[in-house]
């Protein structure tokens, strides 16, 4: 019930924030901050209960912190089925925390309809929580669509100069790929029903069903395309730079920090475990696409003069590591992919917050108009340097742990792919350090004084910095939290296809 309570808190908080605008235009942001804090407090007890996992009778050897099931449309085998294991708990915690950061990042930015803006922020968070916890495939698709609508509105209404094009491109890419996934879900359910005589969207029941190799292969592609588009992976990435560039700061924080992670989560939770043999068939293709994304994204990031677009292309590069690690499919690479998901969410959210703050102060995103900003904004410069260094994979910070585990795990199964992916560590350093030089160092191009990061911005940035240091120095608690869930996903696929372990 905790998962449902969190979603209810987020949705009701959004409604209250929307309505509160009628009395005072400052109230919605305070309501949104309070809602995120309350949602975090509701989730907190589950962190302490993570060691006391419960066994679910329909899940065989799966262990879960919390599970809730209630009939929704029994005639079609559709149930309200939510489950929270260590992986889901980590992703939900990241969602709520970055929701708080998103609200704080847009504190002084939104003047038009601030109540409806905060409603869309909280509505997005509720949808993402549903995606990370739904274990009924119809319910999962429902929340997959729910989280897209408010993000589209955030870009279309509060975005920048080319927001109509960017929002429509975002919507078309995600909606069409979602339709492909829906067709795949229905095909999987109908085929399972034809063999078992029971129509069900239950994740655990569908996991037990063995499809013929050819059928499994084609259905798997429906899931793969939908999730890789959201990741985004090459060649489905082109919607991301436009969406990030035109989105308001809060939407960029949510998009980079959590919405991209739903694609990686879908691959890890559904695509590979449901279709292990088919996943093995395309493993080299998927890892190759991941490597192309790593190098291609880094090269395009290097070529950008728009600061937000630079960070957007860097996201494509970093998420390529996640795709490589997932399809290397051994315990080391999977752990690395999850750590990379979290670390990327923290570091990139901070960089987009910094880019938004600069745009708000200078009214430009063009790095050619910047330079020497450290003179006027030393706190912003120091913070940006920290997260740029984190993004390039500095040892001692979370991004390094994720990337190095992915590379070690991948090297065990495909050394050439691992070597090619390691180029991303070099190219990442190039564009990150050059961006710092162009924006904060060098000749001072502006003579007027600019407002530095204040207490509000540092309230969001300092926890992000602490978490990245914690991930980099002592990631073991995170490994302990996610290990039961990842071991179960890994062992399930290995049990179905014994030789899939390590993709041999």
Of the given ranges (90-99, 160-169, 176-185, 402-411), which has the lowest mean pLDDT? 160-169
Residue of 146, 167, 305, 344 lying closest to 243 (CA atoms)? 167
d(CA 364, CA 260) in angstroms, rounded, equals: 26
Q: What's the pLDDT band for 457 if we cut at 50, 70, 90?
A: confident
Residue 68's Cα: distance from chain center in Å?
24
Q: Is the pLDDT of residue 287 over 50?
A: yes
Instruction: Name which of 327, 329, 92, 88 is nearest 228 in CA terms.
Output: 327
Torsion sign across C-alpha atoms 470, 471, 474, 475: positive
Percentage of the residues of the chain whose pLDDT score is greater than 90: 46
Residues 6+ apart with CB under 8 A from 305: 366, 367, 368
Quote the tokens at residue 109: 């930015």
Tell me the three state secondary structure of residue 136. strand
Environment class of 462 (CB within 10 Å of its CB; exposed 0-12, middle 13-18, buried 19+): exposed
325, 336 contact by CB (below 8 A): yes
Three-state secondary structure call for residue 202:
strand
- On the question of pLDDT at 58 being above 90, the answer is no
Quick: pLDDT tens for 334-348.
999 999 999 999 999
Nearest CA-CA partner of 234 in 176, 175, 286: 286
pTM: 0.91
Query: Residue 483: CA atoms inside 13 Å, Cβ hemisphere, count?
Result: 8
Say whether pLDDT at 207 is over 90: no
Average pLDDT score over the chain: 87
Q: DSSP labels for 449-485?
A: --PPP-HHHHHHHHHHHHHHHHHHH--HHHHHHHHHH
Mean of the pLDDT values across residues 280-287? 92
Q: How confident is the model at residue 266 (pLDDT cuts 50, 70, 90)?
A: very high
Query: Stretch 434-452: mean pLDDT, rounded?
Result: 77
**How many CB atoms within 10 Å of residue 303?**
10
- pLDDT, one tens digit per residue, over 83-110 is 998 899 999 999 999 999 999 988 888 8
Alpha helices in 197-306 (DSSP H): 203-208, 213-230, 239-246, 249-254, 260-266, 272-274, 276-281, 283-303
Tokens representing 194 are 């034809």
Spatial separation of the C-alpha atoms in residues 15 and 484, rounded to whole Å: 37
Average of per-residue pLDDT across 28-54: 83
Residue 51's pLDDT is 60
Reported confidence tier of residue 327, pLDDT bands at 50, 70, 90:
very high
Q: pLDDT category, 446, cuts 50, 70, 90? A: low
Mean pLDDT of 290-317: 90
Q: Is the model's pLDDT at 501 over the cut of 80?
A: no
- Cα separation, 194 vs 211, in Å, equals 11
What is the mean predicted confidence (pLDDT) over 411-421? Answer: 92
Q: Identify the pLDDT of residue 429.
A: 83
- Euclidean distance between CA atoms 95 and 31, whole angstroms: 17
- Cα distances (angstroms) measured from residue 426 to each of 81, 380, 403: 44, 25, 12
* DSSP single-letter state for residue 374: G
Instruction: Report, in this order, helix, strand and coil percent for the chain, each rounded to 5.
Output: 75, 5, 20
Per-residue model confidence (pLDDT) at position 472: 93
Instruction: Report, as an integer, the average pLDDT of 290-302.
Output: 91
Residue with tokens 């001692």: 396
Query: Is the pLDDT score of 55 beyond 80?
Result: no
3-state secondary structure 36-99: HHHHHHHHHHHHHCCCCCEECHHHCCCEECEEEEEEEEHHHCEEEEEEECHHHHHHHHHHHHHH
């Amino acid at each position: 019930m905790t998962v449902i309570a969190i979603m209810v808190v987020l949705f009701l908080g959004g409604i209250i924030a929307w309505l509160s605008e009628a009395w005072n235009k400052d109230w919605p942001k305070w309501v949104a901050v309070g809602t995120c804090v309350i949602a975090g407090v509701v989730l907190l007890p589950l962190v302490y209960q993570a060691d006391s996992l419960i066994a679910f009778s329909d899940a065989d050897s799966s262990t879960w912190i919390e599970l809730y099931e209630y009939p929704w449309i029994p005639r079609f085998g559709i149930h309200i089925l939510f489950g929270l294991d260590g992986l889901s708990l980590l992703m939900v915690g990241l969602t709520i925390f970055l929701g708080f950061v998103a609200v704080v990042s847009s504190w002084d930015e939104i003047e038009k309809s601030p109540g409806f803006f905060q409603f869309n922020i909280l509505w997005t968070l509720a949808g993402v929580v549903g995606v990370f916890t739904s274990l009924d495939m119809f319910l999962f698709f429902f929340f997959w669509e729910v989280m897209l609508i408010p993000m589209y509105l955030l870009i279309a209404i509060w975005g920048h100069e080319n927001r109509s094009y960017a929002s429509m491109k975002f919507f078309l890419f995600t909606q069409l790929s979602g339709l492909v996934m829906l067709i795949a879900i229905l095909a999987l359910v109908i085929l399972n029903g034809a063999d078992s005589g029971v129509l069900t969207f239950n994740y655990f029941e569908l996991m037990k069903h063995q499809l013929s190799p050819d059928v499994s292969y084609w259905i798997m592609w429906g899931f793969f395309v939908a999730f890789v588009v959201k990741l985004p992976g090459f060649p489905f990435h082109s919607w991301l730079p436009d969406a990030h560039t035109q989105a308001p700061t809060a939407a960029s924080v949510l998009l980079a920090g959590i919405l991209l992670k739903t694609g990686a989560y879908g691959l890890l939770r559904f695509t590979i475990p449901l279709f292990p043999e088919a996943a093995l068939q395309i493993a080299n293709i998927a890892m190759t696409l991941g490597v192309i994304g790593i190098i291609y994204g880094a090269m395009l990031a290097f070529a950008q003069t728009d600061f937000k677009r630079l960070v957007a292309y860097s996201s494509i590069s970093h998420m390529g590591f996640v795709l490589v690690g997932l399809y290397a499919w051994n315990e080391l690479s999977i752990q690395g992919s999850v750590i990379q998901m979290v670390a990327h969410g923290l570091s990139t959210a901070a960089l987009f917050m910094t880019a938004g703050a600069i745009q708000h102060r200078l009214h430009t995103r063009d790095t050619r108009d910047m330079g020497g900003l450290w003179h006027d904004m030393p706190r912003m410069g120091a913070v940006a340097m920290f997260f740029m260094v984190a993004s390039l994979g500095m040892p001692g910070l979370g991004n390094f742990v994720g990337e190095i585990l992915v590379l070690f795990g991948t090297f065990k199964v495909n050394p050439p792919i691992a070597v090619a992916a390691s180029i991303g560590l070099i190219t990442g350093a190039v564009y990150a350090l050059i961006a710092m030089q162009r924006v904060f160092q060098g000749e001072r191009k502006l003579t007027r004084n600019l407002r530095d990061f204040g207490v509000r911005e540092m309230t969001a940035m300092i926890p992000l910095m602490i978490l990245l240091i914690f991930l980099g120095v002592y990631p073991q608690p995170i490994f302990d939290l996610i290990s039961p869930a990842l071991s179960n996903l890994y062992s399930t696929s290995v049990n179905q296809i014994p030789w899939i372990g390590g993709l041999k």
